[in-house]
């Protein structure tokens, strides 16, 4: 039971289209398929892998369910929202977190092929662990 790989970075955007255009036009990522989440955003791919997720800052909730606030980039991570890992054995990881008394949330992504656990680290950075079914 361990994480295996970094999956993607999510950026909360005050200028969603401009940010998408930058990553596509300047960096060379391509926009691709994205689940039917109830908030605006884009998934940007490298070699068939969605490595950058853009989410409109005006939308509420984020992955952890908190209100979206645009931080001052000079005060830390700027628009960085969370880091995601590919995991193995969803049930074992959930049991491990619960046994340790760690606060976490879980979600099944629309379409049902992905289960997720969301866990804040001690500094407040949200860690997402994805388990494919």
The 10s digit of each residue's pLDDT in 67-114 is: 555 555 445 456 678 888 889 999 999 998 999 998 999 999 999 899
Q: Does residue 66 sit in helix, strand or coil?
A: strand
Average pLDDT over residues 16-38: 91
For the chain, the average pLDDT equals 84
pLDDT of residue 1: 76
Q: Distance between CA atoms of 22 and 117, rounded to whole angstroms?
A: 30
Q: State pTM to two decimals.
A: 0.67
Q: Distance between CA atoms of 41 and 44, rounded to whole angstroms?
A: 10
pLDDT of residue 98: 93
Domain limits at 37?
A: 3-132
Q: What is the CATH number of the domain that holds 81?
A: 3.10.180.10
Average pLDDT over residues 7-22: 88
Total structural domains within the chain: 1
Classify 122 in phi/psi space as left (phi over 0), alpha (psi -120 to 50) or beta.
alpha
pLDDT digits (tens, 9 = 90+) for 31-72: 999 999 988 999 999 899 999 899 887 655 555 455 555 555
Who contacts 52 (Cβ-Cβ below 8 Å, separation ≥6)? 8, 9, 10, 11, 23, 29, 43, 44
């Amino acid at each position: 039971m361990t994480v295996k790989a970094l999956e993607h970075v999510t950026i909360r955007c005050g200028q969603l289209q401009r940010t998408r255009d930058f990553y596509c036009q300047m960096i060379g990522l391509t926009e691709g398929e994205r689940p039917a989440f109830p908030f605006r955003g884009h998934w940007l791919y490298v070699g068939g892998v969605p490595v950058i997720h853009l989410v409109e800052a005006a939308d509420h909730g984020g992955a952890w369910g908190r209100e979206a606030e645009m931080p001052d980039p000079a005060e830390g991570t700027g628009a960085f929202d969370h880091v995601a890992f590919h995991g193995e054995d969803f049930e074992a990881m959930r049991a491990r977190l619960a046994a340790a008394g760690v606060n976490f949330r879980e979600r099944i992504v629309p379409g049902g092929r992905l289960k997720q656990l969301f866990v804040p680290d001690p500094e407040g950075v949200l860690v997402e662990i994805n388990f494919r079914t």
